Amino acid sequence: MEHTKRYQLPEEEIPRQWYNIQAEMPNKPMPLLNPATREPMRPEDLYPVFAEELCRQELNQTDAWIDIPEEVREKYKFYRSTPLVRAYGLEKALGTPAHIYFKNESVSPMGSHKLNSAIPQAYYCKQEGVENVTTETGAGQWGASLAYAASMFGLNAAVYQVKISYEQKPYRKSIMQVFGAQVTPSPSMSTRAGKDIITRDPNHQGSLGTAISEAIELAQTTPHCKYTLGSVLSHVTLHQTVIGLEAEKQMAMAGEYPDIVIACFGGGSNFGGLAFPFMRHNFTGERNTRFIAAEPDSCPKLTRGVFRYDFGDETGYTPLLPMFTLGHNFKPANIHAGGLRYHGAGVIVSQLIKDGYMEGMDIPQLESFEAGTLFARTEGIIPAPESCHAIAATIREAKKCIETGEEKVILFNLSGHGLIDMASYDKFIAGDLQNYTLTDEAIRKNLES
């Protein structure tokens, strides 16, 4: 019997609107607060930092569907739609009755899902007359995507890359520079925020929180410049919903519907991008899908963090966000999944966790690489270290189906490939990687500080 491996949508089926889950959530997220006044932020309060249309999208809790500009949609056609793939090889290796599917976002020009938001963010900046954009990046996938998108629209890009990732993944820097971006390891001496962090801790290896601080400061001190963000905030996840909206149509082509949806979790963009279009059917009671966010056990904000208002960066330049957090000055372990080394969860995801619509799952580093290696050997794609966490969570759920005999349908997001992360695989194969234990006492002390 012949089996279909890949499900591909024609170009005319690429979504024409993004899905704004805020409009349909049973409980809306709590407001972002101005750190000076503690009053709810208005779109105009964010204008000095972000493009104005992005500010309106960020705080829009009324419109469930936001039109995708035609110029953005034309740029999406460079690589969208992305395939939905049945993981027959992985299923066979596990001996599971589960049906495993993955949305392959690694086929984008930059090798990850990040371009889905980089293109519209650069577009809106260009429409506003902006000439320069700044951003942060961890593993470098977002920085590479923003550099590429900026070059599409004739913008200058400056990227602060987390120092440990800058050192671990040198070719990400090379990609950004090919597209004309200036790349600086963070923390650096080029900003007041960076100098203060280095003064306090000369050996600081960086975090997304430090890089965000530096990028925002540069945006605020540079003429005709705006800051752009790769995850965490709501407008970023809005743009990523093209993933789940495509996947809905492709799952229908396969004649199935997911019982479980899984994605790795750093700030929430690829998780929300896949999950939110499916989750809206849980709100109405039509479906009862489980949603699992797979995070590193060395950075467990979803399962071991606390819900409170906190800054999105280390220095305190961002609004106060209602989030599950480990504390904005949290220094994560030097794991190789650089995109997941972030102290907090986005406000939408944090509210959904509180309301029980989704759950977090902690994955040790070694288990993630074991899962990624098995996936590579059975499906022929070497996954990014971030995506390995989603694969590990998928394998856990698929093994449960062996015990129960259930043919559950599992859908996960392959958020990126790992072809520029081979140094980390080398260390794993050589036995040089380790797990990092984060004690409850360490979390408590950090939150108290």
Which of 286, 285, 293 has its CA nearest to residue 264?
293
Tens-digit pLDDT profile for residues 228-247: 999 989 999 999 999 999 99
Length of the chain, in residues: 449
Tens-digit pLDDT profile for residues 185-214: 999 999 998 999 899 999 888 888 889 899
Tens-digit pLDDT profile for residues 242-299: 999 999 999 999 999 999 999 999 999 999 999 999 999 999 999 999 999 999 999 9
* C-beta separation of 267 from 345 below 8 A: yes
Give residue 1's pLDDT. 59
Give residue 327's pLDDT. 92
Which of 5, 1, 2 has its CA nearest to residue 254?
5
* C-beta separation of 197 from 172 below 8 A: no
* C-beta separation of 187 from 164 below 8 A: no
Tens-digit pLDDT profile for residues 379-406: 999 999 999 999 999 999 999 999 999 9
Give residue 239's pLDDT. 98
DSSP reduced 3-state for 166: helix
Q: Rounded distance, CA 119 to CA 117, Å? A: 5
* C-beta separation of 25 from 352 below 8 A: yes
Q: How do the pLDDT tens digits run along the chain, 449 residues long?
A: 578 999 999 999 999 999 999 999 999 999 999 988 999 999 999 999 999 999 999 999 999 999 999 999 999 999 999 999 999 999 999 999 999 999 999 999 999 999 999 999 999 999 999 999 999 998 889 999 999 999 999 999 999 999 988 888 889 999 999 999 999 999 999 999 899 989 999 988 888 888 989 999 999 999 999 999 999 899 999 999 999 999 999 999 999 999 999 999 999 999 999 999 999 999 999 999 999 999 999 999 999 999 999 998 888 888 999 999 999 888 877 777 767 888 899 999 999 999 999 999 999 999 999 999 999 999 999 999 999 999 999 999 999 999 999 999 999 999 999 999 898 999 999 999 999 878 888 888 888 87
Q: What is the DSSP string of 280-338?
A: HHHHTTS---EEEEEEETTS-HHHH-EEEEEESSSSS-SPEEEEEES-TT------S-G
Give residue 17's pLDDT. 98
